[in-house]
Structure 1
Amino acid sequence: MSEEIILPAPADFHVHVRQGKMCELVTPQVAKGGVRTAYVMPNLVPPLTSTDAVIAYKAELERLDPSVQWLMTLYLHPEVTPEEIRKASKAGISGVKSYPRGVTTNSNSGIEDYGVYYPVFKAMEEEGMVLNLHGEVPSDAEKNISILNAEVHFLEHLKKLAGDFPNLRIVLEHATTSNAVETVLSLPSNVGCSITAHHLSLTIDEVAGQPHHFCKPLAKEPKDRFALQKVIKSGNPKFFLGSDSAPHPLSSKTPNLSQDEKNVSACAAGVYTSPILIPLVATLLDSFDALNNLQKFVSDNGRNFYKIPAEKGKELKLRRTSKPTTTTTKDEEDKAIVKGTIKGEGVEVLPFWIGKRLEWEIVN
Structure 2
Amino acid sequence: MPLEKFDGLELSAPSDFHVHLRDGEMMRLVTPTIRQGGNNIVFVMPNLVPPITTVQRALDYQKQLQSIEPAVKYLMSLYLHPDVTPEVIREAKKAGIAGVKSYPAGVTTNSSSGVVDYEQFYPVFKAMEEEDMILNLHGESPSGPDITVLNAEEAFLPTLLDLHKRFPNLRIILEHCTTAAAIEAVKECGDNVAATITAHHLYLTVDDWAGDAFCFCKPVAKLPKDKRAILKIAVSGNPKFFFGSDSAPHPVEAKHGGASGKGKIAAGVFTQPYTTPYVVDALERACEKRLLSEDQVTKEKLEGFLGGFGRAFYKVSDDRQERMVLKKQKTIVAESIRAESGNLEVVNFRKGEELGWTVASSSYKLPTKSR
Give, in angstroms, the shift of residue 356 of structure 1.
Answer: 1.9
Contact 1:245–1:274, Cα closer than 8 Å, also in 2:
yes
Instruction: State the secondary structure of the residue aligned to 1:48.
Output: coil
SS of equivalent to 1:154: helix
User: Of the candidates 279, 295, 299, which is equivalent to residue 303 of structure 2?
Assistant: 295
Show the counterpart of 1:243.
245
Other-structure match for 2:159 = 157
Residue 205 (str. 1) matches residue 207 (str. 2): yes
Deviations 1:8-42 (A, max 9, x none): 12110000000100000000011111011000000
Give, in whole Å, the separation in 2 of the partners of 1:246 and 1:257: 19
Once the two structures are TM-superposed, the CA of residue 140 in structure 1 deviates from its matched residue by 0.4
1:341 counterpart = 2:336: yes
**Aligned positions of 1:88-237 closer than 5 A:** 88-141=92-145, 144-237=146-239
Among residues 20, 24, 41, which one is paired with 2:24 in the alignment?
20
Give, in whole Å, the separation in 2 of the partners of 1:32 and 1:339: 12
State the AA in 2 paired with 1:80: V
2:276 aligned residue (275, 278, 281): 278
Structure 1 residues without counterparts, runs of 5 or longer = 322-332
Name the CA shift for 1:311/1:282 in 2 (closer, same or farther; >3 Å): farther
Q: Are positions 1:354 and 2:351 aligned together?
A: yes
Q: Which amino acid aligns with 1:320?
A: K
How big is the shift at 1:256? 5.0
Q: Is the 8 A contact 1:9 1:311 kept in 2?
A: no
Of the candidates 304, 307, 318, which is equivalent to residue 310 of structure 1?
318
Report if aligned partners of 1:76, 1:99 keep a CA contact under 8 Å in 2: yes
**SS of aligned partner of 1:243:** coil
- Whichever residue aligns with residue 95 of structure 2, its letter is A
Q: Indicate the residue corresponding to 2:367 in structure 1.
A: none
Gaps (5+ residues) in structure 2? 287-293, 362-371
Q: CA RMSD, aligned part only?
A: 1.2
Paired residues of 2:258 and 2:265 also in contact (CA < 8 A): no
Q: How many residue pairs are counted as aligned between the two chains?
A: 345
Give the letter aligned to residue 51 of structure 2: P
> Hey, what's the Cα distance between the residues in 2 that align with 1:256 and 1:162?
40
- TM-superposed CA distance for 1:281, in Å, is 1.1
Percent identity between matched residues is 50
Structure-1 residue corresponding to 2:35: 31
**Equivalent residue letter for 2:61:** Y
- Residues 104-145 of structure 1: per-residue CA shift (max 9 Å, x gap): 00000001111110110111111111000000010002xx11
1: CA distance, partners of 2:74 / 2:237: 26
AA at the equivalent of 2:49? V
C-alpha distance in 1, partners of 2:149/2:223?
Answer: 13
Q: Does the aligned pair in 2 maintain the 1:199–1:225 contact within 8 Å?
A: yes
Maintained 8 Å contact 1:7/1:299: no
How big is the shift at 1:340?
2.0
Q: Which runs of 4+ in 1 moved over 3 A?
A: none
Secondary structure of 2:49 counterpart: coil
What SS does the aligned partner of 1:234 have?
coil
Q: Does structure 1 residue 8 correspond to structure 2 residue 12?
A: yes
Instruction: Say whether the 8 Å CA contact 1:240–1:298 is kept in structure 2.
Output: yes
Matched residues in 1 for 2:280 and 2:16: separation? 14
Work out the CA distance in 1 between the residues paired with 2:112 and 2:139. 16
**8 Å contact kept, 2:235–2:305:** no
Native 8 Å contact 2:149 2:220 kept in 1: yes
Kept in 2: contact 1:6–1:318 (CA 8 A): yes
Matched position secondary structure for 2:112: coil
Shift of 1:312: 4.5
